[in-house]
Amino acid sequence: MAVRPYQNFPGRVFFSSLYNQSYRTQVGSDFLVSSSAKLVNPHHHIASSDEVSWTLDTKDLRGMDDRKVLSLFSVGFFGGFVLGIERMLLTAGAWRLLPVHFTAFPSESRKSSIWHRSDIPGDDLCPTGTKLFGSFQLLDKQISKGPTNASTSTSSYVDYGFGSDTYSFSGCHRFRITRIPRTPENAKELVQISLEGFHCDPQQNRLWLPRIALWFHAAYARVLFANGMQSVLTRGAHQGASHQ
């Protein structure tokens, strides 16, 4: 996938996301007991978590399915300008300081590695096990088959782990899309896109990051989310226009 101009600069959607997004210091309970969480935090140590989300009208996605949305969000998150400095350092060799590794992850599922942002697919998710820039690994993905009835919400997600359970720092990002059906209280069909994450010390049951580091993490999560949303909505608009 070629690098698009809107991956390099903040645009209207980026700032709109910063304004409209919601932030909280907790994640869905299903995430913390997921197979990905068991890989990242095998001893169930205390973890710090947060979530950034934005609820939109379904029409804003211009007919994109869940897989497409999660793929484009991944492109913006890992290939956008916000992660640029970190990505440059990782590809220059900094990933060797803490290469992503999870002891219980099946060795047969360890696929290829991505080192260039132009190689991150925008039409489909990478295979489970794919490593990005040596420091992130796709651990799990679940795509909804659609609602069983008109009143049921559906959810799809992709999990990217980072750090190592053999070191003192590991964590996981979950990109999630939830489709919310029309109800008597809400006349529109809605969609919520969220970035959930947690990090922990797999070796000791403690939270050791200082408060200023947690503040920086929260700010970083907000702009990374905005970069992901810019990729989803801008690319979706471009594709919608090209098919008219």
The one-letter amino acid code at 68 reads K
Sign of the four-CA dihedral 75, 80, 83, 88: positive
Number of domains in the chain: 1
Distance from C-alpha of 76 to C-alpha of 223, rounded to nearest angstrom:
11
Distance from C-alpha of 93 to C-alpha of 174, rounded to nearest angstrom:
25
What tens digit of pLDDT does each residue of 190-211 get? Answer: 999 999 999 999 999 998 778 8
pLDDT surpasses 70 at 6: no
User: Among 29-33, 35-39, 172-176, 184-188, which is the least confidently predicted range?
Assistant: 184-188
> Which helix or strand (DSSP H or E) is residue 197 part of?
strand 190-200
Q: Is the Cβ–Cβ distance between 100 and 162 less than 8 Å?
A: yes
Q: Is residue 18 part of a domain?
A: no
Q: Is residue 207 part of a domain?
A: yes
Q: Which residues pair with 24 in a beta bridge?
A: 51
Q: Which segments of the chain does DSSP mark as H helices, in order?
A: 12-20, 29-32, 35-40, 66-79, 84-91, 211-242
pLDDT surpasses 90 at 106: no
| Token code pair at residue 206 | 């403690």
Q: Is residue 134 part of a domain?
A: yes
Give the per-residue SS3 of 74-136: HHHHHHCCCCHHHHHHHHCCHHHHCCCECCCCCHHHCCCEECCHHHCCCCCCCCCCCEECCCE
CA–CA distances in Å: residue 21 to residues 18, 89, 180, 194, 229: 6, 29, 17, 9, 10
Q: Is residue 102 part of a domain?
A: yes
Structural domain boundaries enclosing 234: 27-242
Q: Which pLDDT belongs to residue 238? A: 53
pLDDT surpasses 90 at 111: no
